[in-house]
Amino acid sequence: MLILKPADIRPSEITSEANYLNRRQFIKAGAMAGGAALSAPASSAIVPAERGAKLDGIGASRFSTDEPANSFEDITTYNNYYEFGTGKGDPAKNAQGFRTRPWTIAVDGHAEKTGPIDFDDFVKPFDLEERIYRMRCVEAWSMVIPWVGISLADVVKHFRPTSKAKYVAFETLLDPVQMPGQRRRVLDWPYREGLTIAEATHPLSILAVGLYGEVLPNQNGAPVRLVVPWKYGFKGIKGIVRMSFVESMPRTSWNMAAPHEYGFYANVNPEVDHPRWSQARERRIGAGVFSSKQPTRMFNGYAEQVAHLYTGLDLRKHY
Ligand code: MTE
């Protein structure tokens, strides 16, 4: 019997959302039919170096939204990645020659396992999963993105942080030769971000290595970037080369640049306006003539899963 695996369909061939949704229904149907061959991920993740290469052994996730995904085109041509320029179209143009191999991630701080680790070895112990998440940018636009990633909770546990580790800090590559945006001090480079340990070990947090079933395009943060769907997009640090287990709250790029506008937590919150604009509504990118604004939801619609992380915290003060 010929079984067409989702893995046999090259995602970049997919031009319409409708096709993609069919593929998703197929994955779901396979998973529901107990299709272990479809949904059981490979126990060791392999992420090819080649741009556009297909990722194999992707499991489906119960955390995916059913909302229609944005097109590959929307997701890969409307980007924020200041290392490659500040215009939305700059990263797609300027990141094409960016080298994502060899790629080393330094793991340091309060953990039992630390040291520099080659990216391909870094991802190996984990399962690849597709996570279709709503993403909300602080600039009041949103997209739905079919990420492929590994659970950040699994990654954190793997390195066995000690009780002193209260936060996880991340850093992007510093390489002004390859990253023309770093030749200007638009931000204090390298780009930095951080999460509390509770946020980093929440099942929704992932490190993305792909989208639409293939290797993450450079402009979206290849080879590995953070995705935390209940926070504004700027928390999703791209091109990660350092992961540190630290005791005190780490400094983060946007908070350092404009502390009154960007806090450490950066939870999507329609009730707390950005000092220069409202966060009550958002524009879904690619929605065409029907792109009227829609209401923004608390924690980007993930309140049921994450609100407990912030009990007792004044969300107006800790924005
Ligand atoms: N990571 C780095 N290293 N540099 C950046 O400029 N921009 C952030 C975030 N990660 C940024 C970054 C912002 S502001 C957003 S909205 C998201 O990346 C955008 O991710 P996307 O382009 O994949 O949609």
Per-residue HEC secondary structure of the chain comes to CCCCCHHHCCHHHCCCHHHHHHHHHHHHHHHHCCCHHHHCCCCCCCCCCCCCCECCCCECCCCCCCCCCCCHHHHHHCCCCHHHCCCCCHHHHHCCCCCCCCCEEEEEECECCCEEEEHHHHHCCCCCEEEEEEEECCCCEEEEEEEEEEEHHHHHHHCCECCCCCEEEEEECCCCCCCHHHHCCCCCCCCEEEEEHHHHCCCCCEEEEEECCEECCHHHCCCCEEECCCEEHHHCCCCEEEEEEECCCCCCHHHHHCCCCCCCCCECCCCCCECCECCCEEEECCCHHHCCCEECCHHHHCHHHHHHHHCCCCCCCCC
Distance in Å, CA 313 to ligand 1 centroid:
26
User: In this predicted structure, what is the pLDDT of residue 10?
Assistant: 41
Closest-CA residue, ligand 1 atom 9, reads 234
Res 290: pLDDT: 61
Which pLDDT belongs to residue 292?
73
- Reported as a single tens digit per residue, the pLDDT across 159-191 is 999 999 999 999 999 999 999 999 999 999 999
Q: Model confidence over 259-271: pLDDT tens digits?
A: 999 999 999 999 9
Q: For 60-98, what is each residue's pLDDT tens digit?
A: 999 999 999 999 999 999 999 999 999 999 999 999 999
- Say which range, 6-20, 39-53, 133-147, 252-266, has the weakest mean pLDDT: 6-20
Task: Please report the pLDDT score of residue 43 as a whole number.
Answer: 62
Q: Which atom of ligand 1 is nearest to the CA of 181?
A: 6
Locus of tokens 């580790």: 165
Ligand 1 atom, smallest distance to 135 CA = 24
Domains and CATH numbers, the chain: 11-310 (3.90.420.10)
Q: What is the DSSP letter of 19?
A: H
Nearest CA to ligand 1 atom 19: 80
Q: Considering only CA atoms, which residue is closest to atom 4 of ligand 1? A: 81
Q: Is the pTM of this model over 0.85?
A: yes
Closest residue by CA, ligand 1 atom 8: 234
pLDDT for 44: 86
pLDDT band at 26 (very low <50, low <70, confident <90, very high): very low
Over 80: is that where the pLDDT of 308 sits? yes
8 has a pLDDT exceeding 80: no
Q: What mean pLDDT comes out for the span 28-44?
A: 46
pLDDT digits 0-9 by tens, 199-242: 999 999 999 999 999 999 999 999 999 999 999 999 999 999 99
Protein residue with least CA distance to atom 24, ligand 1: 79
pLDDT over 50 at 1, yes or no = no
The best mutation among 81, 144, 255, 285 to test binding of ligand 1, ranked by most ligand atoms within 8 Å of the C-beta, falls on 81
pLDDT tens for 120-158 read 999 999 999 999 999 999 999 999 999 999 999 999 999
The per-residue pLDDT for 291 is 65
Q: Is any ligand 1 atom within 6 A of the Cβ of residue 83?
A: yes
